[in-house]
Each structure stands twice: as structure tokens, then as C-alpha cells.
Chains A and B, each alone.
Chain A
Amino acid sequence: MRWLTAVLLIPLAALLIYVSGDLPDRGDPDAPANLHISPELVALTERDIKIPNLVSAVLADVRGYDTLGETLVIFTAGLAVLLVLMRGPRRADGTRPSANTRSGPSARSRDR
């Protein structure tokens, strides 16, 4: 199987190396990526927001809705960690309900 991976990846690498010569220089102001919406964002930041950090302006203002979603994703991840790992209330016999589910898989792996 390894030779098949090589057969697939070596032409791909050759293709990528070949086309990399046509990429614009880094930081080229005439590159297509810098001609589409970037001038508008620079003008908007200078006119309306007036902060030096363009990245913050785009992240928190122009794409504020996107950043709100990112923050909610992180918040949800924290809540998920709490739900999975938080220790539950003790039972009357002193054990915790989560202790049984926790020892289950590890006990099985010990038997193997």
C-alpha cells in the first residue's frame, strides 16, 4: 500500500512545486488577494474605526458575527468538558455514579 501512496503523492508534490513559481510574491500589493476586498477593509478601518490594528478591526467588527460564533464554540466546548468530566453527587453508600462508568472500560482493558 505504501507504494500506492508514493505514486499518488509524488506527482501531486511535483505539480504543487511546478505551480508555486506562478504564485505572487509575498506582500505584493498587486496580488489578486490584495486587490479584491482588502482596499475596502483598509479604507473602512481608517475612516470608521480608526485603530491601527487592521486584524482586530476585521476580526471583531467586520466579521463580528463570525467571532461571536467562535467564542460560542469555545464556550460550548468548556460546557461539554464539564458535562463529561464533572464529578456527580455522592450516593448513600459513598460511591459516585460516575465512578462506575469510569471503572468500566478500564476494568475490561485490565482483563485482556
Chain B
Amino acid sequence: MTEQHDSIILNFVVRVLLVPFIFVFGLYVLVHGEASPGGGFQAGAIVAAGLVLARLTAGAEHGESRLSTGVLVWLASAGITIYLVTGIVPMLMGASYLDYGVLPLEWFNAVAGHERTNRAMGIFIVEAGIFMGVFSVLVIMYDHLTQRLSDD
């Protein structure tokens, strides 16, 4: 796991076939979470599994070059912040915490031509925050648990 072995079959199957499919499927699970089984937790786990697979095949030295721990910590914090701010904005509008019904999002329906309720859009924003948090935390855990192995 700590040294890279160049294998055309492994590189092709993982990097060309599997990882892009896993990423697209994870994003599908995220954006389709309101209409079908899915949501932020599941999508975060799926996309993190795809990135871990890519890092497993790339080797420990090359695996972490794309998304460093600093970027991932920022991403996780941004996800949590999105959730918290989505809760605070309704308080500023005069409603209770996390009451998505009063979020100022009516303009989005006019722009996108949808008929979504404010609450549905609030749910999606929150799910996106959960996705960023779960994805980053899982990848951080993988990076640091394997970093220790490759160090010794």
C-alpha cells in the first residue's frame, strides 16, 4: 500500500471507469436526495469511498497531492458553517432556528423556473453542508490512519 506499482489494468479500471462513476453517482445521490433514497450523509460516504479508492491505487505519496488535509479541514468547516448559517438566517427573519420556510429564496424559483418551496431548498442547502462535512471527515480519517502506517 505504501509503494506504487504501475499497472495499466488497475489504473484503467479504477481511474477511468470506477472513480468517475462513483463521483457522479455520489453527486446524483446528493442532488436527488429529496426525491429518492439518499442525502448528504450517504453522498458524502460514497464520494469519500471513491476518493479513498483513488488514493489506494495511487499510493500514499501521490494520493494526498490533490486534496490536502488543510483543504479538507476548510471544506468540513465550510459544510458545518453552511448548516449553522442556514439555521441562523431564519432567526434574523423573525422565525425560529432552522425554520426554512422564511428563507429568502423565492427569487430562485423565478430564475430556475422551478416550483420548489422554500423548505425544500433549505433541505437541499443543509444536505449540501452535510455532504461537505461527511466527505471531508472520512477522507481526513483515511489519510491520517494510513499516513501513520507509511511513516514507520
List A residues at the B interface (Cβ < 8 Å).
48-53, 55-57, 59-61, 64-65, 67-68, 70-72, 74-75, 77-78, 81-82, 85-87, 102
Contacts and interface: CB of A to CB of B under 8 A. Distances in A.
A61 B119 CA distance: 7
Contacts of A71: 40, 79-80, 83, 129-130, 133-134
Of the candidates B101, B119, B141, B145, the one having the most CB atoms from chain A within 10 angstroms of its own CB is B119
Interface string B136-152: 11101100110110010
Given A65-B97, A82-B144, A87-B151, A75 B35 contact: no
Interface string B66-90: 0001000100110110011001000
B108 to A, nearest CB: 15
**What are the nearest 9 A-B pairs in CB distance?**
A78-B137, A85-B144, A64-B98, A60-B123, A51-B34, A49-B119, A51-B120, A52-B35, A50-B117
B127 A81 contact: no
Contacts of B127: 56, 60
A53 B116 contact: no
Given A61-B122, A87-B147, A50 B116 contact: yes
Contacts of B120: 49-51
Listed residue (A64, A65, A72, A87) with the most chain B CB atoms within 10 angstroms of its CB = A64
B138 to A, nearest CB: 8
Given A60-B123, A68-B87, 11 more contacts: A53-B36, A64-B100, A67-B130, A68-B83, A71-B80, A75-B137, A78-B136, A78-B140, A81-B140, A85-B148, A102-B148
Given A61-B122, A68-B87, A53 B134 contact: no
Chain B binding surface, main DSSP class: helix
B123 A81 contact: no
Contacts of B76: 75, 78
B50 interface: no
B148 to A, nearest CB: 6
Given A87-B147, A87-B151, A53 B37 contact: yes
21 contacts: A48-B101, A50-B120, A53-B36, A53-B38, A56-B34, A56-B123, A57-B119, A60-B40, A60-B123, A61-B100, A65-B98, A68-B98, A71-B40, A71-B80, A71-B129, A77-B137, A81-B140, A81-B145, A82-B69, A82-B73, A82-B140
